[in-house]
A = this chain, B = another copy of it.
């Protein structure tokens, strides 16, 4: 029988809107991949009575309760106390955890003073499995009582993410009779609605493997998940579905089990021993930032120029003054000169350029918000794409960067850099 989990996030800062409950999102994704149903998320403040009330509701509709937050030194162990009370378990001092907390302070926070409050974090429900926290001070814990498995995790997303991956997923995998494997196809160049429209029938009829569509800004994902007695069997079930989807979506699929389009671009550059650079006007460094989010970027990324003024376009990247005067900064001619200039100045094999109007206002030549020219240079060849990316500043910038990376991806995989618009392919 499939298990049902409920997530309870404890933190007044969530109810005040100070932060968003990203922990719930990442835990939900992990549980979904494990085949565990999630029917409810609850968020409750730093208030013992209301935490207890939330636990009372949850224990009757789920057999796994995962809490996040309320383990910190400033909240009096609120969550541990509430859950321990609810399941009749005393909190006891865990010597090993106390030692780990002291060690963490000594090594990672040498400039901070450890207080007794911090040692309070070593009070844990009697008989629990301690989930060691290598990423912060508060240990997590898990116990089973009255038919419910309780797992408590620290709230800070960086800690929660690491604890989830390294402690909770291994712990919960044992609940699953069999092996769950998944593959995620990443698509660029198709909208979520168009992708779903092409899938609807399969989505409804498939149970194992299952197919789950996800949309992120400007990108889509399809996650195939199979459950089988062995990993080999699960993989064998995934393979034909992946092949069918690849056949259906063709070169819109930019990768499988890859984190992002820029990660795929980095992989392709590395495999081919090539380097990239960027020349950015309206995206103001976002493309470079994305490329360097990845550790090890220096092997494939030479650098970039953020040329927010015509002056810099001319002086730093050698765009001819005549080009800027005649065609303006937002033009295919400038995009072309920027890409070639970046290759030359930054000494890279390929370069992308992005110049357009991010908004909120049209530029001084009357070019509308959302008009962006994207250039790709490779040696002395150069391509320019004209895009219209809506009117929201953030979205224009994000979409422009994705479009630029996709041109690199297409070039490095031998596809036409500028595909003709095909039916069924949304403009991203």
Contact = CB atoms under 8 A, between A and B. Distances in A.
Interface of A: 13-22, 24-32, 38-45, 47, 50, 54, 57, 74, 111-112, 158, 193, 196, 212, 214-215, 278, 280, 282-289, 291-293, 295, 297-298, 301-309, 311-312, 315-316, 345-347, 358-361, 392-395, 426-427
A289 B289 contact: yes
Contacts of A282: 292
Contact of A286 (B285, B311, B347, B393): B285
Nearest to A394: B293
A43 B20 contact: no
A326 to B, nearest CB: 21
Given A74-B196, A289-B289, A297 B316 contact: no
Contacts of A284: 288-289, 291-293, 297, 301
A282 to B, nearest CB: 8
A392 B288 contact: no
Contacts of A293: 284, 394
Contacts of A41: 14-15, 21, 41-43
Contacts of A25: 14, 17, 19-21
Nearest to A109: B390
Contacts of A307: 303
A426 B111 CA distance: 8
25 contacts: A15-B38, A15-B41, A16-B214, A17-B27, A17-B28, A17-B29, A20-B22, A21-B24, A21-B41, A24-B43, A39-B45, A39-B47, A41-B41, A42-B43, A74-B193, A284-B288, A285-B287, A285-B291, A295-B393, A298-B308, A302-B312, A304-B305, A305-B305, A311-B347, A315-B347
A35 to B, nearest CB: 12
A214 B18 contact: yes
A393 B307 CA distance: 26
A14 B28 contact: yes
Contact of A29 (B16, B32, B112, B289): B16
Given A295-B393, A309-B298, A315-B345, A28 B15 contact: yes
B288 A303 contact: no
A285 B304 contact: yes
A13 B303 contact: no
B304 A306 contact: yes
Given A215-B18, A289-B289, A303 B309 contact: yes
A285 B29 CA distance: 30
A25 B16 CA distance: 7
A54 B40 contact: yes
Given A17-B30, A42-B42, 15 more contacts: A17-B29, A21-B24, A39-B45, A39-B50, A74-B196, A111-B427, A112-B193, A285-B289, A286-B289, A286-B292, A295-B358, A297-B308, A298-B309, A303-B312, A316-B316
Among the interface residues A18, A111, A394, which one has the most CB atoms of the partner chain B within 10 A? A18
Among the interface residues A193, A214, A284, A293, which one has the most CB atoms of the partner chain B within 10 A? A284
Contact of A347 (B112, B285, B303, B312): B312
A285 B295 contact: no
Contacts of A302: 308-309, 311-312
A417 to B, nearest CB: 22
A301 B297 contact: no
A303 B298 contact: no
A24 B17 CA distance: 7
Among the interface residues A15, A17, A360, which one has the most CB atoms of the partner chain B within 10 A? A17
Contacts of A309: 298, 302-303
Among the interface residues A39, A292, A301, A347, which one has the most CB atoms of the partner chain B within 10 A? A292
Contacts of A16: 28-29, 32, 38, 212, 214
Nearest to A395: B158
A287 B113 CA distance: 32
By Cβ-Cβ distance, the 4 closest A-B pairs, closest first, are: A284-B292, A285-B288, A17-B29, A17-B28
